[in-house]
Amino acid sequence: MDAQSYHPVPPGVGTEENFLSLDDILLSHQRLPVRTECAFPRLGFLDRSSDSEDLPEGTKMELPLWLSKGLYERKRRVLSVELPKVYKEGWRTVFTADPNVVNLHKMGPYYYGLGSQMLHFDSPENPDIAQTLLQTFIGRFRRVMDSSQNAYNEDTSTLLERLDCLEKALFQNENDLLPASKYY
C-alpha cells in the first residue's frame, strides 16, 4: 500500500515525548541503570536477582525509562538514575574527537532520543551531555545527507549499519526522494 496517506504521530522534539507517538513509546522502553533511594514494599519481584518480598532501599537494578521518569522526583529521594556509559565523560571525549567514527546503532540505537531524555534526571553533567549530543549530530549530519543523496553511486550499507534511529529516518527521507529528483 502506498504510504502517502498514512501519517503516524511523529516523535517529540528534545526532552518532550509525544504521548501518542509509537516511536517515543518504544524509545522510553529502553532500560537504565538505577539505584532505589527508598524501599518499595511488596514489589521485590521486580528485581530478578532478589528473593525478598520487598524491594529494599539501595537496590541497584535496571528500570525502563518510562518508569524511571514516572518515579523520579527532584526534591525527594526515590530513585537515582545513572548515566548509561555512552553519555558519560569517557565516551563524550570520543564523540568530540571524531563523531563519525562511532557506530551509533550498536551504542543506541536511540542515541539522540535517549540522550535527550536523560536530561530529565538533573545530572550535573547535563550541559555537557546536551552539548555533546548536538555537536555529534552536526558532525555526522553532513556525511549522512551526502551519502543518502549519492546512494545510486555508492554502497551505503556499511554507513547505514552505524546510524542511530534518528539519522536513519533522515537518510530514509532523503533516499525516498531520490527517484523523484533523478526523474526531474
Partner 1 sequence: MMFCEKAVELVRELQRLSDGQLPAFNEDGLRQVLQEMESLYDQNQADVNEAKAGRTDFIPSIKLRHSCLLRNQRCVTAYLYDRLLRIRALRWEYGSVLPANVRFHMCAEEVEWFSQYKKSLASFMRSIGGGEGLDITQDMKPPKSLYIQVRCIKDHGEFEIDDGTVILLKKNSQHFLPRWKCEHLIRQGVLEHVLS
Interacting residue ranges for partner 1, rule: CB under 8 A: 1-9, 19-23, 25-26, 29, 38-43, 45-46, 48, 63-64, 66-67, 70-71, 78
C-alpha cell at 71: 518515579
Query: What's the closest the beta carbon of residue 180 comes to partner 1, in angstroms?
Result: 11
Cα distances (angstroms) measured from residue 136 to each of 77, 92, 133, 141, 156: 33, 9, 5, 8, 20
Query: What's the closest the beta carbon of residue 15 comes to partner 1, in angstroms?
Result: 17
Query: What's the closest the beta carbon of residue 20 comes to partner 1, in angstroms?
Result: 5
The residue among 5 and 181 lying less far from partner 1, judged by its C-beta, is 5
Query: What's the closest the beta carbon of residue 18 comes to partner 1, in angstroms?
Result: 9
Cα(167)–Cα(113) distance, integer angstroms: 11
The residue among 41 and 124 lying less far from partner 1, judged by its C-beta, is 41
Cα distances (angstroms) measured from residue 86 to each of 68, 105, 183: 18, 12, 42
Q: Which residues of 60-77 are buried (b: 16+ CB within 10 A; e: fewer)?
A: ebebebbbbbebbeeeee
The residue among 66 and 91 lying less far from partner 1, judged by its C-beta, is 66
The residue among 38 and 138 lying less far from partner 1, judged by its C-beta, is 38
